[in-house]
């Protein structure tokens, strides 16, 4: 029987809206511009998307699943708390969003990208009118970062980062492409999600900076090719099937109001150009921020996210490729994985003699000591590097039970796992462990990235890159030595590997400040040659050789 549409009323502000048939409460809330924390992307794992229903017999929502009972407990459930991502309305419902579940700007601050320091912006500005602001947006598959830029002063006035709510339709671009290909109506919904999130971020920045929305005259947006297609309302379906062609590569310009952005309907919105279906405006943006075309020949830019994009300046110009690293480096397919936010383990150390383990946890600015809640991508790489160094993992990736390390214990199915934090020391009272499956996911991810690097070198007759610039939020924090230990990068010295942070965001900001960057982006998009790994005759062998640890 078809489930009818239901009305959801938000108790504290009286706002009402209709939940579409089959929509979870979380989807309906996001669709209507109410943002909740959803650290696990709506997978029912983080427990952050709690709502409290106002319903005497608690029957207005679908019954709790086993997972929900485990996370919330009977007492919380009886008090009306539910996980918004795990439940659908059965009839009209009134609910409130507890403060701990609401997105707050303080939780989401994002520092200006590292690469900006390299550029002397004030010299390029000239005379500019006051109250002239722009927004630079890095629309990532996992995270959306919005930077409010004061164009007269040449500085980032404020910035914010939010989880991309499209993660409800899959962690990586392929899952979102396939969701849209199967159900074309989803394109509009995913577009609306991105736009509402950017609008939410823009309004938070406008409020905290006390400026008028009309002072924002321009917005530059970068992202991978799929994100840009969805943002402008064009289907990314062609990117999902061979020959993986995008519908367009050129930059797009339009007014904010034409796609429903309301902060200033007359602001000009501009996307940077793409190169191919899998090398998008974010890579172009990162390359212009790193001034890759002006670096010595042999410099390689590696942007690691759910997809790995690599650009290499060889003797014959710029060559680029992309490889499917999957979401492991962002912690997403890791059993206890989470984003690099407060509470995430970001480094692990195993002390060889005492066989003890220590770790560091990302803390927030309140100074309150946060217990570990999971492990982020850099933490995973660090843990795997340490396990390899201490031979608890062998070169083929299997746990080595002969080491008899006390933290190496079987899970309830008898599969070995390495306990990083015992239950009594974690935020949620459950042990945080690295499983055999996690190690395999890291092998696949690093194998894919290394294959891309090897084949780019081979195709430019180069033995090794001279220098690697590691971009992306992940690239900013990873220790070069860890990346070398697991064989994710070729045998350079750690000093030849430089973390350049969110270079894509830096490129968008620089384009706002200086039009010459837009020109550089166009030239780069036109002149970069592309190496297609999917049809490369050496792909299979190189990939298989890259799976083992060094
Ligand atoms: S439990 Fe993580 S978003 Fe719902």
Residue 154's pLDDT is what?
86
What is the pLDDT at residue 107?
47
Of 31-35, 74-78, 194-198, 211-215, which gets the smallest average pLDDT? 31-35
* pLDDT tens-digit readout, 353-365: 777 899 999 887 6
Spacing, Cα 166 to ligand 1 middle (Å) = 13
Predicted pLDDT at 110? 65
pLDDT recorded at residue 127: 65
**Percent of the chain beyond pLDDT 90?**
60
Percent of the chain residues topping a pLDDT of 70: 93
More reliable by pLDDT, 285 or 368: 285
Over residues 241-250, mean pLDDT = 94
Q: Is residue 535 a contact partner of residue 505, using CB atoms and an 8 Å limit?
A: no
Lowest mean pLDDT among 114-118, 401-405, 411-415, 530-534: 114-118
pLDDT by residue (tens digit) across 137-171?
A: 999 988 899 999 999 888 899 999 888 888 888 77
1 pLDDT more than 60:
no
Longest dimension (CA), the chain: 72
Q: Is 240 in the pocket of ligand 1 (CB under 6 A)?
A: no
CA–centroid distance, 449 to ligand 1, in Å, is 30
Q: Indicate the range of 59-68, 116-125, 231-240 predicted with least confidence.
A: 116-125
Residue-level pLDDT at 350: 94
The whole-number average pLDDT for the span 59-77 is: 91
On the question of pLDDT at 494 being above 80, the answer is yes
- Could you tell me the end-to-end alpha-carbon distance of the chain, in angstroms, rounded to an integer? 56
Nearest CA-CA partner of 24 in 82, 88, 95:
88
Mutation test of ligand 1: which of 36, 45, 82, 341 has the most ligand atoms closer than 8 Å to its C-beta? 45
- Measured between alpha carbons, how far is residue 53 from residues 18, 95, 127, 387, 503 in Å? 16, 4, 55, 45, 42
Q: Is it the case that residue 62 has pLDDT exceeding 90?
A: yes
For residue 418, what are its two tokens? 């390495």
Token couple for 23: 């929509």
Residue 2 has what pLDDT? 53
Environment class of residue 237 by beta-carbon count within 10 Å: exposed (0-12), middle (13-18) or buried (19+)?
A: middle
pLDDT at 506: 93
Kindly report the protein residue whose alpha carbon is nearest to atom 1 of ligand 1: 44
Most informative mutation of 29, 30, 35, 38 for ligand 1 (most atoms within 8 A of CB): 38
Per-residue model confidence (pLDDT) at position 337? 82
Tell me, what DSSP letter sits at residue 21? T
Model confidence over 282-303: pLDDT tens digits? 999 999 999 999 999 999 999 9
Single out the residue of 53, 90, 46, 41 nearest to residue 68, CA to CA: 46
> Which pLDDT does position 9 carry in this prediction?
83
Q: What is the overall mean pLDDT for the chain? A: 89
Asked if residue 475 has its Cβ within 6 Å of ligand 1, the reply is no
Q: What is the C-alpha separation between 452 and 434, in angstroms, rounded?
A: 26
Within 13 Å and on the Cβ side, how many CA atoms surround 16? 7
Three-state helix/strand/coil letters over 134-171: EEEEEECCCEEEEEEEECCCCEEEEEEEEECHHHHHCC
């Amino acid at each position: 029987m078809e489930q009818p549409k239901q009305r959801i009323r938000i108790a504290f502000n009286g706002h009402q809206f209709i939940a579409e048939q089959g929509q979870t409460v979380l989807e309906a809330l996001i669709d209507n511009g109410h943002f909740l924390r959803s650290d696990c992307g709506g997978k029912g794992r983080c427990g952050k998307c709690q709502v409290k229903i106002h319903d005497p017999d608690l029957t207005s929502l679908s019954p709790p699943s086993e997972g929900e009972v485990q996370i919330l407990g009977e007492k919380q459930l009886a008090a009306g708390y539910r996980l918004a991502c795990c439940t659908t309305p059965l009839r009209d419902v009134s609910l409130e969003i507890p403060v701990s579940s609401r997105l707050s700007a303080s939780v989401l601050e994002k520092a200006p990208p590292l690469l900006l320091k390299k550029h002397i912006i004030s010299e390029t500005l000239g005379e500019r009118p006051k109250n002239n602001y722009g927004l630079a947006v890095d629309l990532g598959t996992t995270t959306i970062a919005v930077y409010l830029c004061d164009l007269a002063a040449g500085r980032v006035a404020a910035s914010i980062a939010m989880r991309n709510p499209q993660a409800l339709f899959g962690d990586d671009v392929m899952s979102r492409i396939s969701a849209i290909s199967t159900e074309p109506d989803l394109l509009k919904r995913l577009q609306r999600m991105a736009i509402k999130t950017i609008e939410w971020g823009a309004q938070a920045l406008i409020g905290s900076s006390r400026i008028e929305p009309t002072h924002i005259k321009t917005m530059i947006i970068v992202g991978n090719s799929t994100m840009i297609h969805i943002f402008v309302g064009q289907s990314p379906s062609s990117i999902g099937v061979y020959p993986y062609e995008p519908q367009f590569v050129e930059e797009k310009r339009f007014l904010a109001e034409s796609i429903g952005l309301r902060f200033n309907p007359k602001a000009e919105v501009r996307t940077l150009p793409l190169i191919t279906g899998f090398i998008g405006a974010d890579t172009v943006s990162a390359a212009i921020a790193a001034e890759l075309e002006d670096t010595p020949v042999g410099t390689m830019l590696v942007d690691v996210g759910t997809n790995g994009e690599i650009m290499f300046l060889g003797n014959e110009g710029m060559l680029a490729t992309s490889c499917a690293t999957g979401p492991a480096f962002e912690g997403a397919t890791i059993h206890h994985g989470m984003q690099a936010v407060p509470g995430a383990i970001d480094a692990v150390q195993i002390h060889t003699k005492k066989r003890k383990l220590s770790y560091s946890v990302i803390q927030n600015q309140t100074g309150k000591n946060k217990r570990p809640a999971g492990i982020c991508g850099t933490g995973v790489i660090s843990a795997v590097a340490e396990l390899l160094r201490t031979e608890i993992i062998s070169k083929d990736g299997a746990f080595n039970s002969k080491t008899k390390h006390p933290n190496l214990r079987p899970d309830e199915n008898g599969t070995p796992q390495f306990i990083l934090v015992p239950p009594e020391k974690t935020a949620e009272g459950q042990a945080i462990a690295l499983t055999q499956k996690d190690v395999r996911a890291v092998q696949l991810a690093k194998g894919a990235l290394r294959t891309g690097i090897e084949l780019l070198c081979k195709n430019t007759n180069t033995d090794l890159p001279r220098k690697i610039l590691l971009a992306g939020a992940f690239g900013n924090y990873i220790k070069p030595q860890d990346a070398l230990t697991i064989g994710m990068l070729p045998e350079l010295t750690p000093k030849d590997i430089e973390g350049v942070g969110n270079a894509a965001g830096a490129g968008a900001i620089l384009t706002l400040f200086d039009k010459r960057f837009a020109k550089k982006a166009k030239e780069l998009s036109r002149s970069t040659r592309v190496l297609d790994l999917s049809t490369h005759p050496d792909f299979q062998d190189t990939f298989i050789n890259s799976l083992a640890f060094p």
